[in-house]
Structure 1
Amino acid sequence: MNLLIVGHPLRFDKIKNELKNNFNEIEAEYIEYWNYSSTDDLLKYIRNNEGSIDALLFTGELAFNWFNASMFPDIISDYIYKDSGSLLKMLLHALFKGLDISKISIDSYSKDLIYEAYEEIELNKDSQNIYICPKYTYQENTYSEEVYFFHKKNFYEKKVSCCFTAISPVYEKLSNDNIPCFLFQPTRDVIRNTLLKLQLKHSIKVNEYSQIVAISLEIDLPDEESIINKDEYQIILENMNVSKQVYIFAQKIEAAVQEVNFRGFMLFSTKKILETETDNLQKFDIFKMVNENTLSTISVGVGYGKTARESRYYANLGLIKAKKHGGNKAFILYDIKTIVGPIDYLKKSKAKISSNKIDGKLLKIAEKCEISINTIFKLYTIVQQQKKDCFTSHELAKYFGTTPRTMYRIVNKLEQNGFAEFVGKKIVSDTGRPSRLIKICIY
């Protein structure tokens, strides 16, 4: 994809680093642009090179809005948005400089986003003196001047200790006046997500005629030191559990499933159904399903094509690439040159991800409950073998091969740490009191 990046050079370095580290398939060109009253040169350049520009990325919302009226409908465009994380970073810098962040002047951020950031650091928004710059009309080159005077007035009237801005010319003018100010700088995640979104939009547009989609999915091999690797029966159970999640997902996207081998699957669906169910590939539920219901990780390749053979070929190439990047990664291939990835869908969905350590999910439970990892694994195995997760302590003791007293202590520790819960009572015999029924939640 050929990408033209437009904006102030202060933001170019971070974008260059992200492209270099994660988007080798994107060819980028940079044009400095911050004089919003003069768009003629930029318009002329884009018009002359329209055939070779696949997408436009603006470094800020102001440049995007100013240029929006003159947009070329055939070129995909977007800007780097602002989030609470970037605002928190500016607040932190202000604190390090000894400035009072309860008295600030700020532009370009919505009231909700500002209050969200203050709530994150447990500061009461009602006790802060926050002056939010109004949304002025975009007219000629007066917008940045109006924002500059808004901040300058607040500072010289001693209403604020510092100013936060997302507009580079405003930042430069305030800095020249020796007014404490901070410029919005997007986080790496924001830049990465924006680039990925542009890439996906371009790929969908380029491949609108590719109607068949293949998904090549493989269960990643457990680490050779993993506790699962020492139990062949458990490996079989675990793979069956993942297989169950694959078939549930396949039903959701109305896909035909072919089991390639004991650990691999090939799913065939249509472009329309897959993109509808995955919100244009912004989410991919199979990763979350496997993460929440098994101890395994998966690698996925998605291939588009005009024929089943073509889509299958691209899906397998995507799988090979995904496996090289570790577990829970995906690559999407629209053709041999249009490749998106690696995509970490678990990170995008903010799902609880187990540690990168060997047997990370089991280890986390074991450490929190102060129980050996072997005990946790054995309980997990019992749940899988019995195909249920609710037991009395006596039943668990019998399956585990220990005394009810010992099992009661184990269950008690799990319950105290949220990995087991009381769900009712069960009458075990005609005489005696009902036994507590405990649900095991070690997923």
Structure 2
Amino acid sequence: MIEHHQLPIHQIRIGIYGTSTIVDRIMKVMASFPVFAPVPVVVSEEQEAPELTDRMQGEMEAMLLADPLAQRKLATGEWLPLPVYPVPVNEAGFYRALFAAERQGKLTGGISVDTMPEGVVRQVMQALDLSNVQAAIYAGPEREPGTSAPGERIADFHQAWYDSGACSVALTGIESVARELSKRGIPHERVLPSDQDIQMSLEQAMLSAVSRRSREGQMVVGMIRIDDFAAQALKRNNEHEVQKLKLDIHRMMLDYVESLDGCLSHLGGDEYMFFTTRSVFRRETGGYKAIPLAKAVNKTYGISLSIGIGFGHSASSAGTNARIALSKSKEAGGNACFIIREDRTLIGPLAMAEPERDALSFTDASFIKRAEEAGMASAYLSKLLHQRARFGKYEYKVHELAHLLGITVRSAHRLLQLWSDHDLVEISGIEKVPRGRPRQIFKFSFLE
């Protein structure tokens, strides 16, 4: 008899945040998503959001938000620690609330609505041939300045329309507003997300989590080149010391790659290649900020390294990106590290032997293409990025730029004019000199 064993599912821990009514509803729908390990967080008031999310940090991979007020609070908070997926209320929930009001005889006059876009309300009313029914739609803030209860202003809005006789029922998507309306004796119906709305949010959270995990296990290829090793070898007294230096450097490389849980390969000459995973590399570099190996080699032997790191969905693409990143480091003059991501976004330069002012910067592929179309060679861009990270410099006089790029002053003038025409450079000031014409100062605005 053949036994079938189900493989264990690496579940995604997701917090379900909201009031009891909606959390129970989401939990029922989530039963058909075995990939999730739900952690229900039932709250009585929406203002509990910040405290609870702080407590949940590190415990969850994502959070599902089902209350409109909580969504607004959390979506605008800079401290937000988790990916958040709101559960929207769409047409289906509004249809259901209208039918419920009709069945109970509440739809004798107009309606007042909150948390629904005006366009959706008008579209549904027209589809149900209720265009003649007045619909008052709330579009203001949820709280009046000076009040303490969330949603109090929304409840006042519904009451004003009910007291005027223009509306016979309130349709609200907020539980605290529904409770307040019950206290005031105002007929109302809850507008809740449909099962389809909940499923769509769960699918979005699942796909994002799977994609994130895929990136964590993504292949990383690193290429390391010792800068000007021949000059370092000439400083040794004999060939024996040169060979010992090579062995010492190789041993240091092995120790570093061991910390990355990776493997190292000597490509011959002055180049090495290593393989690791993205999550480990990010951890060991402090979030792509610094390369400890470069600092250690420089401090011990006075040798600088050019390093290129490539991310990719395959070893081949990661290796190609690593080679491109290494060329960027060489173009910057050595003692530099750049990263090329799978989308060809450029990260860097990372901190090497000296502290960087701006250790991490992102330059997307579209900008690199635009710069190249404007006549900015890859080598020029690498040197400018390197100077910006190391010295915080993004303004140059013509002769300074010519010296940095290794070109004539005349060529620098020509390039600056070309880059200015493509909005890469602008004049930021003028330096007066005792003799001769004042010198213009050019600012590379994309480096600010």
Same fold (TM > 0.5)? no
Larger Rg: 2
- Higher relative contact order (CA closer than 8 Å, sequence separation 6+): 1
Task: Using structure 2 for the length normalisation, give the TM-score.
Answer: 0.44
Task: Using structure 1 for the length normalisation, give the TM-score.
Answer: 0.44
